[in-house]
């Protein structure tokens, strides 16, 4: 139920909802696990200034999780 509500709020453009839905997608909580979708949602949250989204997007870049592994991009998002 939480994932469904986060999706509805994310579709309305709420950064916090995008971040929380990304967590659910990354770990398969209430939705099928999808690290590509998680990375996309972290990026959307990060672009809206969500600091934890920025950090988690950096982690995705560092680990190559849902994105091509790129330490330079990881460092950029860790510094935001």
In this model, does residue 80 exceed pLDDT 90? no
What's residue 42's pLDDT?
98
Torsion angle defined by CA atoms of residues 29, 7, 9 and 64, in that order, rounded to the nearest 10 degrees:
70
| 3 state SS for 9-69 | HHHCCCHHHHHHHHHHHHHCCCCCCCHHHHHHHHHHHHHCCCHHHHHHHHHHHHHCCCCCC
Residue 16, both tokens: 């916090």
Tell me the C-alpha distance between 2 and 79, whole Å: 30
pTM of the model: 0.94
pLDDT tens digits for 42-55? Answer: 999 999 999 999 99
In this model, does residue 41 exceed pLDDT 90? yes
């Amino acid at each position: 139920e939480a994932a469904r509500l986060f999706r509805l709020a994310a579709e309305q453009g709420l950064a916090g909802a995008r971040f929380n839905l990304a967590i659910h997608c990354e770990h398969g909580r209430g939705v099928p696990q999808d690290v590509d979708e998680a990375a996309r949602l972290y990026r959307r949250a990060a672009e809206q200034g969500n600091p934890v989204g920025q950090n988690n997007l950096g982690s995705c870049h560092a680990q190559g999780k849902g994105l091509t592994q790129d330490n330079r991009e990881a460092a950029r998002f860790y510094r935001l």
